[in-house]
């Protein structure tokens, strides 16, 4: 069957094909990852030693702000949406996403949104400089003029995410092949379905927060201004009501990825499938009632602090269940260590380290010492870099042969993995120490007792930055130079799931024109 | 496996080398000098060890499986995929551990939040980018006689700006670099001191690690936090909440004195306040000299030492308001009252009359502005106290 699709640029502009859109999301997120990473390099260069050597403090703040925003909204989130686009229809036996035109639109909004955000770098007064959490009144009364471009950009990203999420929900509920019951769906589909619900529930809250900022800035309201009867802390409540579920939006798809990869390379079924589903759902539920653990120092009533502390600590229970299930999946399996498996295992181990520091941070009395220090920076980079991003890399290595029909260069990929492991730990582990010793976040300069750990972090970060260029080269070799062995249809010896059992490699442009039969 | 082992060895070697090279202060939370801070430290160590034990067990099982259940050792995978018993066990055990951890945390938190029966109250107010301390001396004296601002010391600021560029910067060796101020907060030892924390502009956060005190300073709201320090000494902290450009340059220094010394210090401060401001007339060169010092301390972080401004902060060189004829009153007004909606603060209640007069004179005559205008402390005093004459 011939694929009829437009040639050249119009194929990509007008496409409604889930595979093309998935590819565009992934390419876009990788470009954003490199841009956000370049900003991290500026940050780490400035922090290489005490003193101001490279940039002035105001520009430094613009870098930390844009690094955070771009990595969260531009790199991690679109990457998982790209994976969802590619994989969900193939995993549930659907021919495409349920709402293909909306799918195209939700992608093409993104370049506009990030164009707006990045253009602020070239404006008078500079880019947003108030941190990715944009606390009022630093971002309202005191924000640079470009803040309005940031607000509009966030609105666009929100629209894009909400549409993407609606598409996933509608697809999963309506497009499953006959016999593909909910409790037979691959865990990646489950985690993404739950992620999608989180997205539709919290992105409007974020939109509300930035809209209130906009009216505070220009239309005389005082939501966040005490002088007009408002409350700056209200901003933080609204922001973190979005912000905490947001961290699960970024990590849940990676949970699904690990749950797909570990059974394949352990050649054993996923342990405790249903408890994995329930654990994911409980994490999602709990994520709505813990937001104020980001705000233990704002002066909440002690009862409020106790509630948020205990609720937060409870998240460790379902998260622990997931980790134990992954280990039980490996137990008495027959394990091999191809690159996707290495990344998935590194994800489990390093994400768990981020989980441990999470439990520490949850405890209010000690959080007073950790809050807003590099300990927090270490914590969330452990769950995001070796967590969400290693998860995504595992996914790319795992499904790339299915997407392109070619195996990547395993030797280079192993180098990429092992060096990444060294550099990621060299970058982020010393941050625990500098944070505990008393170094606060978001500063361009620091006291000399933090010098050694900062220099280590910087060296690690430069190495980690280089590793991404190696990753780009591995991908270019497969995708553009079309080098590499031909992949088999099953790709991996132990792979299960419709995308490996019911279609050739590479997956044809249209799959499941007629739904597969699922027993 | 050999590659894996090598990597693990390298990582272990690096961490051992690193940790053995520095003292506990440099990589762990400090115990501090209050009962609360020591309890916080103990709880922190308990949680760390709990995490380490859980980590060793979990990762131990995982590494064992990675090693023993390799395909080459275990070619035929087991078939099990479910066990309600173990799933219940590993749900319940973490739950119990967490409850056990939360018990000491709850009681400690309740203690930390109880600021009642304090013997001294100090208002701590954050500004971009300095702190103001105001002593509230019992119920009978709400006059707030003693209050002062605390800025980053000039030596740190100079070092920071002159650290060279690129990776071949000047090596900074001053131990208190970025941790020194001109006027430290002074409190007595063995006294329950309550800090009333607020801010003037954006959110700051008052953090002194040795006291285990961290509280956000929020404009328009007052937060309460307390400490009772055991040992006299000098304790250093920083602003912990991003508050704009110089967030990293507004340290906190607390000098804890024995009670008698504190009383003497306080009496001296009261006497100073009662003596009133120094309004003596100054010559042009005196004004310029004092102005240069004050400008560099209070103004140069935004308007830059050369007066040319930076990004959103306007230049003062040749600007109409600074050099134009008859603009002197407007210039004074901006310095005293600030420009609302911008980072330009109202310096009227932060600086002395003499400092303001010197700064304005300096700005109107430095960097080739050369207007010849001179402002005396008395004029500033009259404007501040006469208002609309």
Q: How far apart are CA A254 and CA A393, in angstroms?
A: 10
User: Could A231 and B160 be called an inter-chain contact, meaning their C-beta atoms sit closer than 8 Å?
Assistant: no
Q: Is the pLDDT of residue B95 over 60?
A: yes
How far off is chain A from B378, nearest CA to CA, in Å?
32
Chain B residues within 8 A of A372 when measuring between CB atoms:
205, 207, 214, 240-241
Residue B23 binned pLDDT confidence (cut-offs 50, 70, 90): low
Q: Nearest by CB to A360, which of B51, B174, B245?
A: B51
Q: Which of residues 145-174 of A touch B (CB under 8 A)?
A: none
Whether A334 contacts A266, CB under 8 Å = yes
**Six token digits for residue A181:** 């019951």
Q: What is the pLDDT of residues B97-145, one digit of tens each?
A: 999 999 999 999 999 999 999 999 999 999 998 999 999 865 545 555 7
Residue B307 confidence (pLDDT) above 60: yes
pLDDT at B18 > cutoff 70: no
pLDDT of residue A282: 95
User: A484: which 2 tokens?
Assistant: 């590499």
From chain B residues 348-367, the ones with a CB under 8 A of any chain A CB are none
Q: What is the ipTM of this complex?
A: 0.93
pLDDT the model gives residue A473? 97
Name the active-site residue from A176, A244, A371, A379. Answer: A244
**A322 noted as active-site residue:** yes
> Phi, psi at residue A223, to the nearest 5°?
-60, -40
Q: Do A360 and B94 touch (CB under 8 A)?
A: no
Tally Cβ neighbours within 10 Å of residue A257: 31
Residue A308 near chain B (CB below 8 Å): no
For residue A69, give the nearest of A137, A158, A192, A1 by alpha carbon: A158
Q: Do A327 and B78 touch (CB under 8 A)?
A: no
Q: Does A510 touch chain B (CB under 8 A)?
A: no
Residues in A 187-226 with any Cβ partner in B closer than 8 A: 225-226
Closest chain B residue to the Cα of A325, Cα to Cα: B87
Answer whether B87 touches A (CB < 8 Å): yes
Report percent pLDDT > 90 for chain A: 93
| pLDDT recorded at residue B13 | 63
pLDDT of res. B162: 79
pLDDT > 70: what percent of chain B? 89
Relative to beta strand B193-199, strand B120-127 is parallel
Chain B residues within 8 A of A271 when measuring between CB atoms = 80-82
Query: Per residue in A401-445, pLDDT tens?
Result: 999 999 999 999 999 999 999 999 999 999 999 999 999 999 999
Vertex B66: Cα angle to B64 and B71 (nearest 5): 125
Under 8 Å CB-to-CB from B238, ≥6 apart: which residues?
Answer: A438, A440, A443, B178, B179, B207, B248, B250, B251, B252
Distance CA A327, CA A271 (A): 9
Confidence at B378, pLDDT banded by 50, 70, 90: confident
Measure A486 CA to nearest chain B CA, in Å: 24
What is the layout of strands, in order, in the sheet containing B223-227? B147-150, B130-136, B120-127, B193-199, B223-227
Contact status of B21 with chain A (Cβ, < 8 Å):
yes
A489 is catalytic: no
**Cβ-Cβ contacts under 8 Å, B212 against chain A:** 368-369
- pLDDT class of B318 with cuts at 50, 70, 90: confident
Q: Catalogue all structural domains in chain B, each as residue range(s) with its CATH number.
A: 31-74+81-112 (1.10.287), 120-164+174-274 (2.60.40.420), 284-386 (1.10.760.10)
Range 249-278 of B in CB contact (< 8 A) with A:
249
| Distance of alpha carbon A210 from alpha carbon A207, whole angstroms | 5
Q: A21-501: what fold?
A: Cytochrome C Oxidase; Chain A (1.20.210)
Of the candidates A57, A142, A456, which has its C-beta nearest B246's C-beta? Answer: A57
Residues of chain A with pLDDT under 70: 1-3
Q: Does B170 lie at the interface with A, CB-CB under 8 angstroms? A: yes
* Mean of per-residue pLDDT scores for chain B: 87
A510 is an active site residue:
no
Chain A partners of B87 at a C-beta cutoff of 8 Å? 272, 275, 321, 325
- pLDDT for residue B375: 87
Do B29 and A369 count as a contact with CB atoms less than 8 A apart?
A: yes
Residue A177 DSSP SS3: coil
């Amino acid at each position: 069957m011939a694929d009829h699709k437009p040639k050249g640029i119009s194929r990509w502009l007008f496409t409604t094909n889930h595979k093309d859109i998935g590819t565009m999301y992934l390419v876009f997120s990788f470009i954003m990852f490199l841009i956000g990473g370049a900003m991290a390099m500026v940050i780490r260069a400035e922090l290489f030693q005490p003193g101001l050597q490279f940039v002035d403090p105001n520009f430094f703040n613009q870098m930390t702000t844009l690094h955070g925003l771009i990595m969260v909204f531009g790199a991690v989130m679109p990457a998982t949406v790209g994976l969802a686009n590619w994989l969900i229809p193939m995993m549930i036996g659907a021919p495409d996403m349920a709402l293909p035109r909306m799918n195209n639109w939700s992608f093409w909004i993104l370049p506009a949104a990030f164009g707006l955000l990045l253009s602020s770098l070239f404006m008078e007064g500079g880019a947003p400089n108030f941190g990715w959490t944009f606390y009022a009144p630093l971002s309202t009364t005191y924000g640079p003029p470009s803040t309005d471009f940031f607000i509009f950009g966030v609105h666009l990203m929100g629209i894009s995410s909400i549409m993407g999420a609606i598409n996933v929900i509608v697809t999963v509920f309506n497009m499953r092949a006959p016999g593909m019951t909910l409790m037979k769906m691959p865990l990646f589909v489950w985690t993404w379905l739950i992620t999608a619900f989180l997205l539709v529930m919290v992105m409007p809250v974020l939109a509300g927060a930035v809209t209130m900022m906009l009216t505070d800035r220009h239309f005389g309201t005082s939501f966040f201004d005490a002088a007009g009867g408002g409350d700056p802390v209200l901003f933080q409540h609204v922001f973190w009501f979005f912000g905490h579920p947001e961290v699960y939006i970024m990590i849940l798809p990676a949970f699904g990825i690990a749950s797909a990869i570990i059974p394949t390379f352990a050649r054993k079924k996923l342990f405790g499938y249903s408890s994995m589903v329930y654990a994911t759902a409980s994490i999602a539920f709990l994520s709505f009632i813990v937001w104020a653990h980001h705000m233990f120092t704002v002066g909440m009533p002690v009862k409020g602090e106790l509630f948020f502390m205990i609720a937060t600590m409870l998240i460790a229970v379902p998260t622990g269940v997931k980790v134990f299930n992954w280990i039980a999946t490996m137990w008495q399996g027959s394990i091999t260590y191809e690159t996707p498996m290495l990344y998935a295992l590194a994800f489990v181990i390093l994400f768990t380290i981020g989980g441990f520091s999470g439990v520490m941070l949850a405890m209010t009395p000690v959080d007073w010492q950790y809050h807003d220090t590099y300990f927090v920076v270490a914590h969330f980079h452990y769950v995001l870099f070796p967590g969400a991003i290693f998860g995504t890399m595992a996914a790319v290595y795992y499904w790339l042969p299915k997407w392109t029909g070619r195996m990547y260069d395993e030797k280079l990929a192993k180098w990429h993995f092992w060096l990444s492991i060294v550099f990621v730990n060299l970058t982020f582990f010393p941050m625990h120490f500098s944070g505990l010793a008393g170094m606060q976040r978001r500063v361009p300069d620091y006291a000399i007792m933090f010098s050694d750990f900062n220099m280590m972090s910087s060296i690690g970060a430069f190495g980690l930055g280089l590793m991404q260029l190696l990753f780009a080269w591995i991908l270019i070799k497969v995708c553009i130079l079309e080098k590499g062995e031909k992949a088999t249809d099953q790709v991996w010896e132990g792979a299960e799931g419709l995308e490996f059992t019911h279609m050739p490699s590479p997956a044809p442009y249209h799959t499941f024109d007629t739904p597969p039969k699922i027993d | 496996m050999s590659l894996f082992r090598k990597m693990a060895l390298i990582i272990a070697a690096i961490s051992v080398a690193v940790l053995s090279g520095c003292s506990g202060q440099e990589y762990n939370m400090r115990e501090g000098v209050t009962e609360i801070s020591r309890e916080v430290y103990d709880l922190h160590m308990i949680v760390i060890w709990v995490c380490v034990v859980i980590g060793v067990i979990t990762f131990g099982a995982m590494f064992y499986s990675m090693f023993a259940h390799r395909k080459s050792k275990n070619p035929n995978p087991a078939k099990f995929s479910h066990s309600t018993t173990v799933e219940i066990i590993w749900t319940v055990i973490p739950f119990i551990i967490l409850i056990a951890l939360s018990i000491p945390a709850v009681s400690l938190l309740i203690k930390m939040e109880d600021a009642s029966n304090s013997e001294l109250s100090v208002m701590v107010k954050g500004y971009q980018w300095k702190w103001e301390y105001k002593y509230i001396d019992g119920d009978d004296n709400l006059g707030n006689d003693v209050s002062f601002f605390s800025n980053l010391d000039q030596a740190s600021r100079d070092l920071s700006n002159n650290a060279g560029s690129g990776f071949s910067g000047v090596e900074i060796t001053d131990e208190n670099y970025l941790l020194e101020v001109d006027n430290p907060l002074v409190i007595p030892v063995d006294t329950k001191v309550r800090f009333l924390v607020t801010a003037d502009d954006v959110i700051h956060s008052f953090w002194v690690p040795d006291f285990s005190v961290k509280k956000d300073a929020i404009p328009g709201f007052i937060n309460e936090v307390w400490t009772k320090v055991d040992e006299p000494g000098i304790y250093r902290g920083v602003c912990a909440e991003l508050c704009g450009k110089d967030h990293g340059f507004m340290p906190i220094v607390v000098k804890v004195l024995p009670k008698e010394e504190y009383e003497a210090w306080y009496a001296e401060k009261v006497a100073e306040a009662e003596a009133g401001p120094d309004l003596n007339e100054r010559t042009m060169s005196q004004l310029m000299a004092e102005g240069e010092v004050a400008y560099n301390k209070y103004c140069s972080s935004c308007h830059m030492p050369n007066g040319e401004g930076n990004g959103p902060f306007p230049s003062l060189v040749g600007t109409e308001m600074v050099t134009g004829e008859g603009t002197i009153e407007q210039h004074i007004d901006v310095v005293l009252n600030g420009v609302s909606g911008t980072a330009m603060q109202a310096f009227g209640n932060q600086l002395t009359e003499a400092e303001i007069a010197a700064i304005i004179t300096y700005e109107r005559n430095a960097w080739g502005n050369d207007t010849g205008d001179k402002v005396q402390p008395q004029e500033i005093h009259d404007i501040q106290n006469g208002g609309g004459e």
